[in-house]
Amino acid sequence: MRVLLSTIGSRGEVQPVVALASELRALGQDVRLCVPPDFREWLEDLGFAVVPIGPELRGTATAHRVPPTADRIRKAAEDTVTTQFETVSVAAEGCDVLVAAGALQFATRSIAERIGAAYVYASFCPITLPSDLHAPPPMPWRSPGKAENRALWDEDARRWNTFFGGRVNEFRAAAGQPPVEDLPTHVFSGQPWLAADAALAPWPEPGAPRVVQTGAWTWPDERPLAPELRAFLDAGEPPVYFGFGSMRAPAEVAEAALEAARAHGRRAIITRGWAELAAADAPDCLGIGESNQQALFRRVAAVVHHGGAGTTTTAARAGAAQVVVPQMYDQHYFAGRVASLGLGAATEPGVPSAAALTTALDTALRPEVALQARQFAAAVRSDGASTAARRLLTTTPLSVA
């Protein structure tokens, strides 16, 4: 069977897809990936066929932000849909199953229907899938006030249909397909998958057949830590890790991070990330690039991060206390889960100050929080990708729904 796995996003979206691809390949399947060009070299080194989609994303964390207007949003939306139909159509040639993972997947189901392939949509966080029991992810344009959950989902659907639906239906009409009346319902399908850990991020409707929760898709990272990093870890008590992935972060965040670690008598590891944060030239601070978080997080006193699904799950599985500094989308959900589960603390959204990080670390570095994090780690499963791969092989070829 030939499977196309498609995602549009940063490493937090791509690495879970690689986990599923690896499991499928181990089961003898032919796997192709459609991902942003930033990850092409890495994936080809792993032996996967890659079709790059869209522009490189890494520069978005340091590029000047242009204020959005309705016209700019509409133009970007139409361009995104066009790119997806043009690129995913090529990537999907000869495929039996198309898996669209993560946000902003507008074209894949239409292409699956056109070529007679099975289709699966997978989310990495519960609140990105509609339910009356939770609101959709917070967004800057959300209507003010305390609207009911269903009203907020209806508002999201209207926005999808307004900005993306017209161009989707143009491509469908050109292929002789009927129009889609409600784009979110079309994209999510009748039974979306939730690729999130059931202990950390459970679907709020237990036993509901409408959503299949496979568990988080975790790629087993076997890379050794860099010698300089190992030496730093070995040279003293466990440091505090600071990393914000693909998020924007001004240079002063690195200074605030070190100040907060020092306030607790801790050393700091600061990941440069896509914002290219520069760590201070000091013996108690080490700046690093991308590394094996699965190994590193087992050796730190706490993990301070942006709250992406992958980083939160990796830290939870490692038994590390956490401080979440949410910026957007599902990160607010994971900030709340970390706090409510007693695994650490969260700051207010936005750029964190040294004082805010120091206060959050007051909680995260407590012995009882460290103990809770270690105990909770036992509940975080590592077989989500293998579960998803087996299900893909046994169920999806039977239906394109």
Least confident of 4-8, 78-82, 298-302: 78-82
Q: What is the pLDDT of residue 290?
A: 87
Gap between the Cα atoms of 356 and 363, Å rounded:
11
Gap between the Cα atoms of 24 and 333, Å rounded:
30
Cβ–Cβ < 8 Å for 319, 238: no
- Clarify whether residues 166 and 46 are in a common domain: yes
Q: What is the pLDDT of residue 248?
A: 66
Gap between the Cα atoms of 53 and 37, Å rounded:
6
Which pLDDT tens digit goes with each residue over 294-327? 999 999 999 999 999 999 999 999 999 999 999 8
Which three-class secondary structure state does DSSP give residue 6? Answer: strand
Cβ–Cβ < 8 Å for 374, 319: yes
Q: What is the pLDDT of residue 152?
A: 92
- Clarify whether residues 201 and 118 are in a common domain: yes
- Clarify whether residues 259 and 231 are in a common domain: yes
Pairing outcome for strands 118-123 and 240-242: unpaired
- Clarify whether residues 6 and 132 are in a common domain: yes
Q: End-to-end alpha-carbon separation of the chain, Å?
A: 18
Gap between the Cα atoms of 207 and 43, Å rounded:
36
- Clarify whether residues 183 and 233 are in a common domain: no
Which pLDDT tens digit goes with each residue over 111-146? 999 999 999 999 999 999 999 999 999 887 776 667
The domain in which residue 330 lies consists of 227-377
Which pLDDT tens digit goes with each residue over 269-282? 998 876 777 787 88
257 phi and psi, to 5 degrees?
-60, -50
Gap between the Cα atoms of 79 and 207, Å rounded:
39
Is residue 245 over pLDDT 70?
A: yes
Q: Which CATH number characterizes residue 201's domain?
A: 3.40.50.2000
- Clarify whether residues 168 and 238 are in a common domain: no
- Clarify whether residues 325 and 273 are in a common domain: yes
Indicate the number of domains in the chain.
2
Pairing outcome for strands 49-52 and 97-101: unpaired
- Clarify whether residues 373 and 386 are in a common domain: no
- Clarify whether residues 204 and 236 are in a common domain: no
- Clarify whether residues 282 and 193 are in a common domain: no
Is residue 399 over pLDDT 60?
A: no
- Clarify whether residues 92 and 36 are in a common domain: yes
Take residue 294 and report the two structure tokens written for it: 């699965």
- Clarify whether residues 256 and 354 are in a common domain: yes
